[in-house]
Amino acid sequence: MLDYRIDTFLVLCKYMNYRKTAEILHLSQPAVTQHIQAIERFYDCKLFNYENHKLTKTNSAILLEKYARAVKLHDYSLREKLEEKEINEIRIGVTKTIGDYYLEDNIVNFLSNKNNTLTLIVDNTQHLLRLLEDNKLDFAIIEGMFDKDTFDSVLLHKEPFVGICHKDHPFANKEITIDELLKETIIHREKGSGTRAILEQELSGYNESLNQFERHICISSFKLILDLVKKGLGVSFVYNILAKSDPEIEKFSIKGELVVRQFNIVYLKYGDVREKIESFFREYN
């Protein structure tokens, strides 16, 4: 059973504001202070500093937060087992590329077992990582970058990251220069998405950015991005599994090494979710 004061600590870690924490938990601000002081006495350490009107975490708080979030996940799993449910429920977050173009067979096979049920959230990488921290997910499958001090991971798959254009575009099936690319309209995902982060990282290797394009268009829907590319309204960068999903689209690359990125199964550090990960993929294997 978790100490209720740990919940107070975790909410304060999230919002870094005593007043906001008190409002969310329907407590008085002095009560929040008392909860934090009790934890500090128990662990014999200082958790927060307040200087220049700003609250910051100590190294002890950062470490305790990681363990506390993992313990909450363990507590959730324990409650499930104690309830002795006949249904095996798993909460998974996936990025849009993976959810729409990679994981369908796994989902179908997992759900073909009537004892399995699934909560699946499709969103961008940053939001999924926040849901993991809030114990709203058991694990996430993402292609974006993540903090390895906060999360552990298992490599699921490696996939080439390629340019796409209309099949009649001059770039089709060619290797181009970065200068040629910058003259095009680039269509990209929103901030927080894994594919945008990878595109920005690759551009930075050439000392360029999205702002250097003659025009750039931000769209969160892969379907709409593909439709615009097929209409010749711009080029984009996506994973190979998406690029080969439509005969009207061809691939191109920037001169240099082929860009390959990882699809990772990501979960809270110190969290024990291997059983659920294996359960989800077992039906497919």
**Angle made by CA atoms 108, 99, 223, in degrees to the nearest 5:** 120
Q: Coil, strand, or helix at residue 164?
A: strand
What's the whole-model pTM score? 0.74
Position 283 scores a pLDDT of: 53
Task: Tell me which CATH homologous superfamily contains domain 79-157+263-282.
Answer: Periplasmic binding protein-like II (3.40.190.10)
Domain ranges (residues) in the chain: 4-78, 79-157+263-282, 158-261
Bridging pattern class, strands 151-166 and 236-239: antiparallel
**What is the reported pLDDT for 271?**
78
Predicted pLDDT of residue 2: 72
Please indicate whether the domains covering 4-78 and 79-157+263-282 agree at the CATH topology level: no
* C-alpha span between 275 and 139 (Å, rounded): 11
Looking at residue 211, what is its pLDDT?
93
Whether 121 and 131 have beta carbons less than 8 Å apart is answered as: yes
- Over the chain (285 residues), what is each successive 10-residue block's mean pLDDT? 85 93 93 94 93 92 89 77 76 92 92 93 92 92 88 93 96 95 95 89 92 93 94 95 91 87 91 88 63
Q: For domain 4-78, give the fold.
A: Arc Repressor Mutant, subunit A (1.10.10)
In CATH, the number for domain 158-261 is 3.40.190.290
Helix (H, G, I), strand (E, B) or coil at 206: coil
Listed residue (62, 18, 59) closest to 37, CA to CA? 18
Helix (H, G, I), strand (E, B) or coil at 103: coil
Q: 């095009």: which residue's tokens? A: 184
